[in-house]
């Protein structure tokens, strides 16, 4: 059976046949020490290698204006929209970056309040589509009417600040509607309107978010959704090494920017997938399943010449939402996944199924070192996995460049 890394205490590394072997931290360190021991044994039995045997953080590589320092790791974050790519960078900032400035906190305050408006609008549209307005109480109907009238005046291109103003004026009506039994029925069918699952926290805490002294918590910031349009570069210094992350927009309209990132000669690709979106459709194309879109993207990325022989870290994100959703939304009931033969509602069977779907995309599995990590969007151990996996990848590359393959 396929074993996937599902906790911060494990580091999962796949073999060329993608039969996962899960390592605990102690075993992982033992593996590195064993590799170093093999290196020393090679030195003793074969003498000095033709190339330097020193283990650097990164082999120096210069091509035109693109120069990589010996202490820099370049990592490219890819994936469809709303998969959780930017959340990984927020975690990195919290763990290893500068504290957020007052200006940045103010921005996230507005983003969170805007997310409330986006969520309730989508849920109200679904409520109407399901024909449940008649089941609302009088107070709930009044709240629904108020919000409907206000939203009808709002330009679809309204800015975050406009959303924030509406939220502050009508938050009590939103609270009344959200707390209704009818809305809880709508929430169970939220996949039909693509509302972000994590924004339930915002709706549950709307009075706190609407207060005059509100300051976003780290949890709020991790869940806040702001679309990425252009490539963003983030650099963090960790234990004497620089980690360069390149984050790009995942929506179809933003993917034209990806070609710039493909030419950066990165050390590894982090491909992020939202496990929970197997029963949802794209915002850009209501006939396209989100998981199918992610699988196709993964196929195009892994088999692109720019990433030949590059390690790929597959992040199967939002495992908490996935575990909750599969209880009531059967994987096999979704048209693209009717070949699912696992147990209905079983977390491990579901994860194994989707991992195989992604690995079947590789035309030449021998060309890729594959790491798989099952996680949720706000788990800080994500960065531990990224840092440890990246160091392992680069250390192994340097050893093998000096002694050839087969050291490990």
Q: Among 114, 132, 134, 111, which residue's Cα sits nearest to residue 123?
A: 132
Strand partners, 74: 244
Structure token pair of residue 214 = 């509100």
209 vs 142: CA distance, rounded Å: 22
Q: What is the pLDDT of residue 79?
A: 85
The residue whose two tokens read 């710039």 is 260
pTM of model > 0.95: no
- pLDDT at residue 232, rounded to an integer: 82
Phi and psi angles of residue 141, each rounded to the nearest 5 degrees, phi first: -65, -40
Backbone φ and ψ of 68, nearest 5°: -110, 125
Largest CA distance in the chain: 86
Residue 155's CB: how many other CB atoms inside 10 A? 7
Residue-wise pLDDT for 240-273, tens only, equals: 888 888 887 755 555 566 656 666 778 888 889 9
Are 197 and 378 a contacting pair, CB within 8 Å? Answer: no
Chain segment 276-302, per-residue pLDDT in tens: 999 999 877 778 999 999 999 898 888
* Residue 27 pLDDT: 38
| Per-residue pLDDT, 381 | 74
Residue 136 pLDDT: 97
Extract long-range pairs of 399-407: CB within 8 Å, 24+ residues apart.
399/35, 399/39, 399/55, 401/51, 401/59, 402/39, 402/49, 402/51, 402/52, 402/53, 403/39, 403/42, 403/49, 403/53, 407/35, 407/38, 407/39, 407/42
Q: Are 57 and 241 contacting, i.e. CB atoms less than 8 angstroms apart? A: yes
Alpha helix ranges (H) inside 269-380 = 290-302, 319-325, 347-359
Residues of the chain with pLDDT under 50: 1-68
**Cβ 397 vs Cβ 30: under 8 Å:** no
291's CB contacts (< 8 A; 6+ apart) are 273, 277, 278, 280, 336, 337, 354, 357
**Which residues fall within 8 angstroms of residue 373, CB to CB, at 6 or more apart?**
4, 5, 12, 313, 314, 315, 316, 382, 385
362 with 368: CB under 8 angstroms? Answer: yes
Please give the Cα distance from 106 to 110 (Å, whole number).
Answer: 7
């Amino acid at each position: 059976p396929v074993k996937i890394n599902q906790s911060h205490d494990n580091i999962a590394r796949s073999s060329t046949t993608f039969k996962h072997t899960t390592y605990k931290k102690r075993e992982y360190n033992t593996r590195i020490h064993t590799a170093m021991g093999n290196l020393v044994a090679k030195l003793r039995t074969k003498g000095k290698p033709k190339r330097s045997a020193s283990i650097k953080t990164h082999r120096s590589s210069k091509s035109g204006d693109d120069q990589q320092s010996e202490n820099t790791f370049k990592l490219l974050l890819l994936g469809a929209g709303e998969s959780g790519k930017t959340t990984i960078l927020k975690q990195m900032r919290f763990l290893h970056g500068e504290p957020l400035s007052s200006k940045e906190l103010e921005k996230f305050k507005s983003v969170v309040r805007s997310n409330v408006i986006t969520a309730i609008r989508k849920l109200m549209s679904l409520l109407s589509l399901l024909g449940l307005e008649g089941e609302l109480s009088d107070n709930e109907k009044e709240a629904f009417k108020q919000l409907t009238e206000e939203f009808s005046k709002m330009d679809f291109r309204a800015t975050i600040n406009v959303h924030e103003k509406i939220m502050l004026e009508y938050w009590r009506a939103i609270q009344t509607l959200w707390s209704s039994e009818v809305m809880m029925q709508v929430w169970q069918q939220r996949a039909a309107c693509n509302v972000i699952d994590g924004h339930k926290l915002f709706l549950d805490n709307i009075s706190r978010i609407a207060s005059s002294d509100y300051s976003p918590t780290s949890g709020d910031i991790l869940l806040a959704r702001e679309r990425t349009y252009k490539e963003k570069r983030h650099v963090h210094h960790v234990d004497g090494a620089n980690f360069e992350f390149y984050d790009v927009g995942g929506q179809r309209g933003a993917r034209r920017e990806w070609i710039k990132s493909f030419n950066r000669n990165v050390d590894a690709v982090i491909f992020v997938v939202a496990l929970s979106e197997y029963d949802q459709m794209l915002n850009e194309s209501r006939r396209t399943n989100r998981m199918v879109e992610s699988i196709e993207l993964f196929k195009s990325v892994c088999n692109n010449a720019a990433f030949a022989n590059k390690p790929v870290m597959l992040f199967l994100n939002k495992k908490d939402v996935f575990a909750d959703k599969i209880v009531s939304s059967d994987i096999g009931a979704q048209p693209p996944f009717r070949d699912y033969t696992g147990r209905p509602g079983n977390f491990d069977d579901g994860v194994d199924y989707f991992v195989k779907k992604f690995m079947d995309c590789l035309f030449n599995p021998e060309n890729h070192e594959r790491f798989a990590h099952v996680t949720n969007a706000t788990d800080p151990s994500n960065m531990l996995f990224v840092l440890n996996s990246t160091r392992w990848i680069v250390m192994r590359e340097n050893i093998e460049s000096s002694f050839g393959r087969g050291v490990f």
